[in-house]
Amino acid sequence: MKAHELKGKNFLKLLDFTPEEIQGFIDFAIELKAMKKAGTPHRYCEGKNIVLLFEKDSTRTRCAFEVAGADLGMHPVYLGPSGSQMGKKESIEDTARVLGRMFDGIEYRGFGQDIVEDLAANAGVPVWNGLTNEFHPTQVLADFMTMQEVAGPLKGQKLVFMGDARFNMGDSLMVGCAKMGMHLIACSPKKYWPGQELIDTCQKIAKETGAVIEFSENPFEAVKGANVIYTDVWVSMGEPDEVWQERIDDLTPFRVTADIMEAAGEQCKFMHCLPSFHDVKTTIGKDIYDKFGIDCMEVADDVFESPASIVFEEAENRMHTIKAVMAATL
């Protein structure tokens, strides 16, 4: 990827990019990380203004956009779940046309992918997807950057996704693995596999890239030889509390435990987009413990805290990859 070829482009989902472009973002992020560590200034977007629209909560994504924006010499403005007119008194189209006149780039985190696509169609400036129900593409860039740092080239690396594979993380990792010629196994009860249309799209891409996209209901078999076991929360932002019981019943056999890590082999790393329910140090974690008597959900605490866990390297890389996306598209 030559950075100037992506100027003015939106970053809405990985399906919109070629494998070379995705690799380009990752390699650019690795360069930017080295510059930051060396204290080398990289104010490539001096004087620009960006707006960060969050209809859902965030720690990593918001901070990554704000810090990366500041490092690039920009002024970020945050609009949270309440306080702006968007959606309530003003349509997405009108909001986009207003913000596009004031800002050089717009980040959106919220609900349907159609909303971020709609923003992009009307803003006239680059729009970046900071998570929708369907996709979380900046997260996958950070995940793949971390995998490349740990084990080298992505092609052929095996990633097993355990848990709710039909929401933003499962969907985006499947697309990313298909694009980058990797081996993905989505491991969960069948009803948690991604939608058939997206599977078909990814299988088509896989034919061109040499990727292998598979599905399994057998965790101990699926994880053998994996480079990475990846999981995500069982109930995502915006889903109703009523689904907890069903998710716990269905997904407990797919929790990432020490036994699962051992079955994968000692090369295997543990990854999670975070935040994660691995203990009862959160209000929701405590609440679930009181109601259901479990002290962890998608991952056991000893795995989360083990040397195989690279979740905080992964979290740091959110900032470097988001910086690469903004610098390349602005």
Which of ligand CP, ligand NVA, none interacts with 233 (beta carbon under 5 to 8 A by kind)?
Answer: ligand NVA
* 62/76 Cα distance (integer angstroms): 10
Q: 125 or 288: whose CB is closer to ligand NVA? A: 288
Residue ranges in 147-186 that form contacts with ligand NVA under rule CB under 6 A: 167-169
Which of ligand CP, ligand NVA, none interacts with 59 (beta carbon under 5 to 8 A by kind)?
Answer: ligand CP
* 168/232 Cα distance (integer angstroms): 10
Count of Cβ atoms closer than 10 Å to residue 26 Cβ: 26
Active site members: 109, 136, 139, 232, 273, 318
Q: Note the Cα 264 to chain centre separation in Å.
A: 23
The single residue among 10, 23, 58, 157 that binds ligand CP, judged by CB under 6 A, is 58
- Min dist. Cβ of residue 255 to ligand NVA (A): 16
The binding track of 245-274 with respect to ligand CP, each residue x by CB under 6 A or -, is: ----------------------------xx
Cα-Cα-Cα-Cα dihedral of 274, 138, 142, 250, to 10°? 40
Would you count residue 61 as binding ligand CP (CB under 6 A)? yes
- Min dist. Cβ of residue 298 to ligand NVA (A): 10
Which of ligand CP, ligand NVA, none interacts with 329 (beta carbon under 5 to 8 A by kind)?
Answer: none
* 68/47 Cα distance (integer angstroms): 14
**Distances, alpha carbon 30 to alpha carbons 89, 273, 311, 324, in Å:** 42, 19, 17, 9
Would you count residue 236 as binding ligand NVA (CB under 6 A)? yes
* 7/327 Cα distance (integer angstroms): 9
